[in-house]
Structure 1
Amino acid sequence: MTTFEERLDSLESRLAELEDVRAIEALAARYHSLCDGGWAGPSHADPDALAELWVADGVYCINAARPPCRGRGEIREQFVRLQTSMPWILHTFTNSVVEVDGDRASGRFKGTAYYRRSGGSHVVVGEYVGEFVRTEDGWRFASWVADLAHGSVLSVDADAS
């Protein structure tokens, strides 16, 4: 038979893990929210806030054909470039699976992004794979990598036809 203290310790441990999972899901949601835009202001409007979501030596990769961004400086510059190359974007994510191990965690998030580029409308679907670290400022990305499964052009630029 377990004691009251053992049950309380078990509940506290389970609650802490649930809070960590929720905080990591909130980090992913903040990333998406900070990227989204184009209808009431620019996309990726605050590159500094976006870069601060990573640890100092973090890794970010949204295009397997290009080398990943390493460190907050490169990550910030990627968001600055995306302001013009992807001036309108909206993300959704779902089906998160997060595993916490102390001050580190890993997770997978299914996602869809709708965006405009060069006058055309596009959609991509796939998965973000993340490694996370608990810091003094809360959970941060150690790495955030998009694994795109499919992309389609929804409409082409009317001027291109």
Structure 2
Amino acid sequence: MTPLDRLIAEQDIARLITQFGLLNDAGDWAGVAAMFTEDARFIRPAGGDPVIGRDTIRTSFESRPPRKSCHLITNIVVDVRAADEASARSTLVLYAAPAGASEANSPALIGGFRDRLVRTSDGWKFAERAGFLDLKVSFA
């Protein structure tokens, strides 16, 4: 893998990670699910059992109560391990409120994701996306 190939892969993966937050905030569950491999594993930052499989991941997002959210994803570090394999980690700040609300009524959540990614014929996809929480920041 050339240095240019590595940079392109890093940029493509960083874009995928950022796009995950944007699609999530837009409620585009088909778009979110399409970011995962067919047999992917997803662990929400709030924890719980892994959700396995692209269709099950989509269903898990669709089954949540509607909400208004803003995912701020930053500090993205990508490690390209091979032409078709990479890992990444990123920091997440999440603000959320019930759908139709004009104010968030819950604390901001700070955590992140640890990702395992593979390059497919459709581009980079999440093979595993494991979220975690570090802090809840209460409103004063």
Q: TM-score range by the shorter chain?
A: 0.7 to 0.9
The one-character-per-residue Cα deviations of 1:61-109 (angstroms, maximum 9, x if unpaired) are 1145421110011100111023x2x511001111111100221100110
2:71 matched residue in structure 1: 91
1:132 to 105, 117, 120: 117
Aligned length: 135
> What is the alpha-carbon distance in structure 2 between the residues aligned to residue 50 and residue 97 of structure 1?
21
Aligned residue among 38, 47, 62 for 1:56: 38
Aligned to 1:77, which of 59, 62, 66? 59
Distance 1:73 1:57 in 2: 9
- Percent sequence identity is 28
What SS is found at the alignment partner of 2:139?
strand
Contact 1:116 1:122 in 2 (8 A): no
| Shift in CA distance, 65/111, structure 1 to aligned 2, threshold 3 Å | closer
Contact 1:113 1:123 survives alignment (8 Å): yes
Provide closer, same or farther for how the CA distance between residues 94 and 105 of structure 1 changes in structure 2, counting only shifts above 3 A: same
Unaligned runs of 5+ in 1: 1-11, 38-43, 156-161
Which of structure 1's runs of 4+ aligned residues deviate more than 2 A?
Answer: 152-155
CA distance in 2, matches of 1:58, 1:47: 15
Provide the TM-score with structure 2 as the length reference. Answer: 0.88
Query: TM-score, normalization: structure 1?
Result: 0.77
Higher relative contact order (CA 8 A, sep 6+): 2
Of residues 112, 117, 121, the one that matches 2:106 is 121
Pick from 91, 108, 117: which aligns with 1:110? Answer: 91
Larger radius of gyration: 1
Query: Which blocks of at least 5 consecutive residues in structure 2 are unaligned?
Result: none
For residues 19-58 of structure 1, what are the structure 2 equivalents within 5 Å? 19-37=8-26, 44=27, 46-58=28-40
Q: Measure, in 2, the Cα distance between the counterparts of 1:81 and 1:68.
A: 15
